[in-house]
Amino acid sequence: MNTSIEERTRRTRWFSHDRFGMFIHWGIYSIPARGEWVRSREQISVEDYQPFFEEFNPVFFDAKKWARLAREAGMKYAVLTAKHHDGFCLFDSALTDYKATNTPCGRDLVREYVEAFRAEGLKVGLYYSLLDWHHPDYPHYGDRHHPMRNHPECFNENRDFSRYLEYMHGQVRELLTNYGKIDIMWFDFSYPGMECETWKATELVEMARSLQPDLIIDNRLEGSGEKSGTIMTKNPSVYAGDFACPEQMIPPRGMVDEDGDPIPWEACITMNDNWGYCSSDHHFKSSRMLIRSLVECVSKGGNLLLNVGPDAKGRIPDESVAILKDFAAWMKDNSDSIYGCGYSELPKPEWGRFTQKGKKLYAHIYEECMGAICLPGLAGKVDHLRLLKDGCELKITEFWNIKEYPNDAFFFLSTSRNLTFPLPDEKDTVVEITLK
């Protein structure tokens, strides 16, 4: 095996075990409350965006509450936007005045986050945007995403991109030096003309790994939500990343390299339709859909990074809290089917999905079945079955009407062998199957 792939496997071992994390998109864009891309979409100038900086004061922010909510939901790690595309920093950077400590907030919010989440036993990650719409040396006019891309008066003469790169690398150094052990660095993102060595990516990654040898890094120094880059090959670049991060979708068949070998990956998904707080967006996915999305990711060898977008006062929206509490109830009973699990030896069943951990096969049952539930190809291969929620015994059945299917195993969820039986959990009923 390629040495770099062996190192990637070592670094991501915990990541591929823990499977479930919290993404947190938060910044001064929570004040206009029209999503984190509001400056770009509405082409807002630095001057017109400045009032949000001057009033940022999240009086209800409590990192300990956020961390407790994440842990109780079964999340094992988190990633916070230390700096998003608008350039505003939640940390006390010595390289800029455009930071939370210079707003009415007056606090280093990254420090509070890492301390609170570590105290709850969660691993901590930091998101850092490679883009910066506030920095004077970042390309303005004609850039694909900059708010001033269509404003010729914001011409790029005398802008020195090398000064921006020095600033950007310096801030990454600060984040990896001043806040203790950081588990994930989540860079975002590359696009044509602004990718790979445009960011001095080799130098950046080598610096990051020299400071934090166990750090895992996403693939967006090279890729984006549209492409994954050389992480999909047997010869990944230095900056290919340790995991791929498909956005707002779950890959149809998981993610594998050119030889068909699995690579680490994580689907980043919003609860509603925005990453940052959007006051008018109440289109929240159901907790059932999101729990099943976690199961789908695990069944395909991946993770789920589920986003929350706190409001301007530092509160996670009530709808998001309710979803996370539903996760807490489900994970309390069923986390064994998530942590340490991955691809099953069996194909996807008609009634739901399988996850697997060694000889433990987990049947995630989404649909009521007419008669006994079929385990394709498992006749004679099952040692015993338990309903994961309460450990109650279920038995392989030899019911008369399944005699025509000698290669398959069958069981009833009802001990009375009712031909139809309501699912104990309509979100996802999990049966633990111990194989011989």
- Percentage of the chain with pLDDT > 90? 94
DSSP state of 348: P
Position 392 pLDDT exceeds 70: yes
- Percentage of the chain with pLDDT > 70? 98
Position 417 pLDDT exceeds 70: no
Position 165 pLDDT exceeds 90: yes
Burial class of residue 368, CB neighbours in 10 A (0-12, 13-18, 19+) = middle
225: confidence class by pLDDT, cuts 50, 70, 90: confident
CA dist., res. 326 & res. 361, Å (int)? 24
Give residue limits of the domains in the chain. Answer: 3-337, 352-435
- List strands edge to edge, sheet with 360-365: 352-357, 360-365, 429-435, 382-387, 393-394
426 vs 123, 287, 291, 352, 417, CA distance in Å? 31, 11, 11, 12, 19
Residue with tokens 């910044």: 27
39 vs 91, 129, 138, 292, 307, CA distance in Å? 21, 15, 15, 34, 20
Q: Please tell me the predicted confidence (pLDDT) of residue 199.
A: 98
CA 149 and chain centroid, separation: 30
Ramachandran sector of residue 62 (left: φ over 0; alpha: ψ -120 to 50; beta: rest): beta
Q: How many CB atoms lie within 10 A of CB 107?
A: 17
Position 402 pLDDT exceeds 60: yes
Q: What is the pTM of this model?
A: 0.97
Token digits for 176? 């990896």
Q: Give Cβ neighbours of residue 311 (< 8 Å, ≥ 6 apart).
A: 30, 33, 277, 279, 317
Q: Please tell me the predicted confidence (pLDDT) of residue 342.
A: 98
Q: Give Cβ neighbours of residue 431 (< 8 Å, ≥ 6 apart).
A: 362, 363, 365, 385, 386, 387, 388, 394, 411, 413
Of 54, 55, 165, 177, the closest CA to residue 110 belongs to: 177
Burial class of residue 177, CB neighbours in 10 A (0-12, 13-18, 19+) = exposed
CA dist., res. 90 & res. 153, Å (int)? 30
Of 239, 204, 202, the closest CA to residue 218 belongs to: 239
Pairing of strands 216-217, 184-188: parallel
Catalogue the E-assigned strands of 130-240: 184-188, 216-217
Of 341, 328, 260, 259, the closest CA to residue 295 belongs to: 341
**125-141 pLDDT, tens digit each:** 999 999 999 999 999 99
Q: Please tell me the predicted confidence (pLDDT) of residue 2.
A: 83
CA dist., res. 101 & res. 108, Å (int)? 6
Q: Indicate the range of 38-42, 135-139, 275-279, 370-374 predicted with least confidence.
A: 370-374
Proportion of the chain in helix, strand, coil states, percent, rounded to 5 = 30, 20, 50
**313-342 pLDDT, tens digit each:** 999 999 999 999 999 999 999 999 999 999
For the domain made up of 3-337, the CATH class stated in words is: alpha beta
Position 368 pLDDT exceeds 60: yes
Catalogue the E-assigned strands of 62-189: 77-83, 123-129, 184-188
Please report, as a single letter, which amino acid is at residue 293.
Answer: S
Position 10 pLDDT exceeds 80: yes
Topology of domain 352-435, CATH: Immunoglobulin-like (2.60.40)
**68-115 pLDDT, tens digit each:** 999 999 999 999 999 999 999 999 999 999 999 999 999 999 999 999
Strand partners, 21: 77, 305
Average pLDDT, the chain: 96
Of 151, 159, 35, 48, the closest CA to residue 85 belongs to: 35
Position 436 pLDDT exceeds 90: yes
